[in-house]
Amino acid sequence: MNNLKDRVTIYEVAKASGVSLATVSRVINHQSNVTEETKKKVNATIARLGYKPSALAQALATNRTTHIGVIIPSANYVYISNLLYGLTESAKEKGFVLSLFVTNHNKDEAKKMVENVITSHVDGAIIFDDELEDKDIESMSSYNVPAIVINNKVVEEKIGCVYFGYEHLLKKIIANMITNKNNKPITFLQVENGGRLINRMEKACYDIHELLNRKCSTISCHDSYQKTYEYFKKYFSKNKKKGYFIASRDSIAMAVINAALENGLKVPNDVEVLSIIGTKYAHMMAPQISSMHIDLIEVGKKAMDMLDLLIKDNLKDKAYKFESEYIKRETTLD
Amino acid sequence: MNNLKDRVTIYEVAKASGVSLATVSRVINHQSNVTEETKKKVNATIARLGYKPSALAQALATNRTTHIGVIIPSANYVYISNLLYGLTESAKEKGFVLSLFVTNHNKDEAKKMVENVITSHVDGAIIFDDELEDKDIESMSSYNVPAIVINNKVVEEKIGCVYFGYEHLLKKIIANMITNKNNKPITFLQVENGGRLINRMEKACYDIHELLNRKCSTISCHDSYQKTYEYFKKYFSKNKKKGYFIASRDSIAMAVINAALENGLKVPNDVEVLSIIGTKYAHMMAPQISSMHIDLIEVGKKAMDMLDLLIKDNLKDKAYKFESEYIKRETTLD
DNA sequence: TTGTAGGCGTTATCAG
DNA sequence: CTGATAACGCCTACAA
């Protein structure tokens, strides 16, 4: 425990144990061609000097950093922390460390982060950011950094993806509701920064309505519980009629539900609410929120598994689809 | 966009633009002593060749990685994602990238992660993990990596901390409740992996009871909503009496509340619930959960600000205390 | 203002 | 089995 000394280098270890640095290198890399005796000797001085190899120098020499760059819009959503959890679990197994690149839902930032990931010299990247277009992503592969893209279907030589099947299910749910007696006007609750997925869902919603010769509408909400809640308290007090709301997140769904209940409306008889990106909080609420669900933890694991294979040039199917599941709980009728 | 070619190096840029690599280095580091003309020339070939400096080589040469190691027990809690958010925000301002080291609440893992952080050659570390003891943390500083420890008061040459004031407030809340007419038996809801903070809170709870010549009890819960919910559904059906519950997390609090309501008990008249680590979900519930609160986003920002200063040897006060706040909502009486 | 050369801490390829 | 020695890609005195 030499305090505040400069880093001990492999060279000092070599000298201190009377061997060449090549031998020390062999020992720390667990190579076989070293006598048990010298190995012991070297390990002893390593322990004595408290030597730790510099991952930096190793990386420079081997051209492998064991770091994975992760591009996300923000760390502050439950579904993203789920994703991160899945990623970290799988990464740890494989000996990778995650480096976080946060874009704040901003396109220029996002592009800059792609640059940063490239200079960062990671072994691979996970990209979960709606601001990035395909060409931005491809620039990555031109620098030879393999990447798995989440929530966007794109496949290239060094690029794979994990994408989500939501539209079909949403259309089915809506069609089913419309063709049943259950006949409420449908409102889609957009949100700033909703991103590609939510936009696609909105389109799906309108498409199925058009197909069935119906109309639906959209309300743009603030991406916070409190403001949306206040908005809907007013909304329902002026407007005590039935409705079916498709919320982009749990927090938005909760806001609508609580506002409706407070105005004496019944959930789900008067007001139905469906959350698109359901998290574990959906079933902690009373009433429990009906939601569409994809297990982001599994998505994270799968993405990292795929990336590992892609890095080894061993990934067969470069695109993998997660189907979402409709979990009917207590805020929808059927 | 040369496809899948090897990385362009500074040397190639130098040759291609007819200068020495030193000059190129000066250009990419925005040093002043370069003619506007040659700067332009070099920048042009950099763009043409698509050159990106290797952060790795730069780091090795300068002995600065611009990476910060972050040790956390898991990515999968709301309060940790809040913390991460605060950390990333501040880190970005300062040009740092976060590398995640996850311990899974496991002491051996945690120690290993400390090793990994050291070999990782980060410029500094944020440590938020209850498994680590002071001596583990100090080993960091003996390798000259500055660190800010969260939720543990420890100060050294190269170590600062951000710690939380919870006990005092909890004792006050309990004492207040006991001395009022409001007189329910108090139960502390422990949880596996609760960690140092929760253990301290439990102790505080017992201490204040002892001081007032009262008794309290503990129930150990599973760290999941569902199991705890089921447990308390049985509990309350056998046991329809009043009680005051101190829950270690929002999800535990929700489980108790929902189970109580379902058994016809009134909240907060029969059953009161206080959540220790309140998140934004506390006020989305109906009834809204009374909780103790510390803004982990602010904690993250503060910690990173401090670390930045510590790295520059410029941190005055190495310990900073966040006081928690009692937010009385709808699940407690006073 | 620009170029030369040594160094950062490893790995890897050769000989021996 | 072990030891020189040349990379790895960049920074930085020091010289020119």
Please report, in tens digits, the pLDDT of each residue of chain B (334 residues total): 333 456 899 999 999 999 999 999 999 999 878 899 999 999 999 999 999 999 999 999 999 999 999 999 999 999 999 999 999 999 999 999 999 999 999 999 999 999 999 999 999 999 999 999 999 998 888 888 999 999 999 999 999 999 999 999 999 999 998 887 667 899 999 998 888 899 999 999 999 999 999 999 999 999 999 999 999 999 999 988 899 999 999 999 999 999 999 999 999 999 999 999 999 999 999 899 999 999 999 999 999 999 999 999 999 999 999 999 999 999 999 8
User: pLDDT by residue (tens digit) across A182-219?
Assistant: 678 999 999 988 888 999 999 999 999 999 999 999 99
With beta carbons less than 8 A apart as the criterion, state whether B89 and B305 touch.
Answer: no
Which strands sit side by side in the sheet containing A325-327, from one edge to the other?
A: A217-221, A186-191, A243-249, A271-277, A290-293, A325-327
A 180-209 residues with CB below 8 A of B? none
Greatest distance between any 2 Cα atoms in chain B = 87
State the pLDDT confidence band at A1, using cuts at 50, 70 and 90.
very low
Contact B250, B78 (CB under 8 A): yes
Please tell me if residue A75 touches chain B, with a CB cutoff of 8 Å.
Answer: yes
pLDDT given at position A4: 41
A53 touches chain B (CB under 8 A): yes
Per-residue model confidence (pLDDT) at position A107: 94
pLDDT tens digits, residue range A59-101?
999 999 999 999 999 999 999 999 999 999 999 999 999 999 9
- The separation, in Å, between residue B25 CA and nucleotide D4 C1' comes to 31
3-state secondary structure of B8: coil
Spatial CB neighbours of B217, under 8 Å, sequence gap ≥ 6: B185, B186, B187, B188
| pLDDT of A307 above 60 | yes
Cα separation of B220 and A130, whole Å? 42
Q: Per-residue pLDDT for A13 more than 70?
A: yes
Query: CB contact, 8 Å: A320 with chain B?
Result: no
Q: Nearest 5°: CA angle at B67, between B103 and A12?
A: 90
Check pLDDT > 80 for residue A159: yes
A61 and chain B: CB distance < 8 Å anywhere? no
pTM: 0.94
**Residues of chain B found within 8 Å of residue A55, distances taken between Cβ atoms:** 119-121
Contact yes or no for A1 and B139 at CB 8 A: yes
Structure tokens at B245: 């519950």
Quick one: CA dihedral A283, A289, A290, A292, positive or negative?
A: negative
| Through-space separation of residue B25 CA and nucleotide C5 C1' in angstroms | 15
How many angstroms separate the CA atoms of A53 and A42, rounded? 13
Q: What order do you get walking across the sheet with B290-293 strand by strand? A: B217-221, B186-191, B243-249, B271-277, B290-293, B325-327
* Strand bridging mode A186-191 / A271-277: unpaired
Which 8-state DSSP code applies to residue B180? Answer: S
Whole-number pLDDT of residue A5: 52
Asked if the Cβ–Cβ distance from B297 to A98 is below 8 Å, we say: no
Q: What does DSSP assign to residue B288?
A: P
Q: How far is A294 from chain B (nearest CA, A)?
A: 16
Gap from A175 CA to C6 C1', Å: 73
- DSSP, residue by residue, A209-248: HHHTT---EEEEE-SSHHHHHHHHHHHHHH----EEEEEE
Is there a contact between B56 and A53 if contact means CB atoms under 8 Å apart?
A: no
Contacts of B278 (CB under 8 A, 6+ apart): B250, B289, B291, B292, B293, B327
Instruction: Give the three-state DSSP class for A289.
Output: coil
Q: Please state, for a pLDDT cut of 90, what percent of chain A lies above it.
A: 87
- Average pLDDT, rounded, for chain A: 93
Q: Three-state DSSP class for B191?
A: strand
pLDDT higher than 80, residue A32 = no
Distance A251 CA to C14 C1' (A): 64
Task: Find, in chain A, the residue whose alpha carbon is nearest to that of B68.
Answer: A99
B99 at A interface, C-beta within 8 A? yes
Separation in Å: C16 C1' and A23 CA: 15
| B94 CA from C10 C1′ (Å) | 29
Give me the half-sphere count of Cα atoms (radius 13 Å) on the Cβ side of residue B63: 5
The predicted pLDDT at position A182 comes to 64
Task: Answer whether B297 sits within 8 Å of A67, measured CB to CB.
Answer: no
The verdict on a CB contact (< 8 Å) between B84 and A76 is: yes
Do A258 and B283 make contact, defined as CB atoms within 8 angstroms?
no
Of the residues A6, A56, A70, the best mutation for testing chain B's interface (the one with the most B CB atoms within 10 Å of its CB) is A56
Q: CA–CA separation, A144 vs A138, rounded Å?
A: 10
- Of A272, A282, A220, the C-alpha closest to A251 is A282
Q: Strand C: which residues 60-99 of B lie within 7 A (CB)?
A: 60-61, 63
Please check whether residue A209 is in contact with residue A216, taking contact to mean a CB–CB distance below 8 angstroms.
Answer: yes
User: Which tokens belong to B119?
Assistant: 């070999």
In this prediction, residue A181 has a pLDDT band, given cuts at 50, 70 and 90, of: low
How far is the C-alpha of B314 from the C-alpha of B312, rounded, in Å?
5
Q: What was the pLDDT predicted at B4?
A: 41
Which residue, chain included where needed, has tokens 């259950």? A182
User: Residue A296 is encoded by which pair of tokens?
Assistant: 């982001």
Residues 233-262 of B with CB under 8 A from A: 251, 254-255, 258, 261
- Residues 172-231 of chain B with CB under 7 A from strand D are none
